[in-house]
């Protein structure tokens, strides 16, 4: 059995999207991207990021 890839950090998502970390936190607070807090820091699954990218492309 293979373990899923680890969730992404705010910085990794910001780098991928080409936006600031503040923008990623804004998207998380407004639930545009779903994530969870671990140890007080946001984590975002790769699936959640992929869903956001697809949604944003179809607008």
The tens digit of pLDDT for each residue in 32-59 reads: 999 999 999 999 999 999 999 999 998 7
**Considering the domain boundaries, does residue 41 fall inside one?**
yes
**Considering the domain boundaries, does residue 20 fall inside one?**
yes
- Residue range of the domain that includes 20: 8-57
**Considering the domain boundaries, does residue 1 fall inside one?**
no
**Considering the domain boundaries, does residue 2 fall inside one?**
no
Average pLDDT (17-27) is 98
Number of structural domains (the chain) is 1
What pLDDT was estimated at residue 1?
A: 84
**Considering the domain boundaries, does residue 12 fall inside one?**
yes
**Considering the domain boundaries, does residue 3 fall inside one?**
no
Q: What is the dihedral angle through the alpha carbons of 11, 17, 19, 24, rounded to the nearest 10 degrees?
A: -60
Between β-strands 8-9 and 41-44, what pairing exists: parallel, antiparallel or unpaired? antiparallel
Question: Predicted confidence band at 23 (pLDDT cuts at 50, 70, 90)?
Answer: very high
Average pLDDT taken over every residue of the chain: 95
Average pLDDT (13-29) is 98
């Amino acid at each position: 059995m293979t373990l899923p890839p680890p969730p992404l950090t705010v910085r990794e998502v910001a780098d991928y999207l080409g936006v600031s970390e503040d923008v990623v936190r804004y998207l998380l607070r407004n639930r545009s991207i779903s994530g969870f807090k671990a140890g007080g820091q946001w984590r975002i699954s790769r699936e959640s990021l992929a869903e956001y990218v697809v949604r944003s492309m179809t607008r």
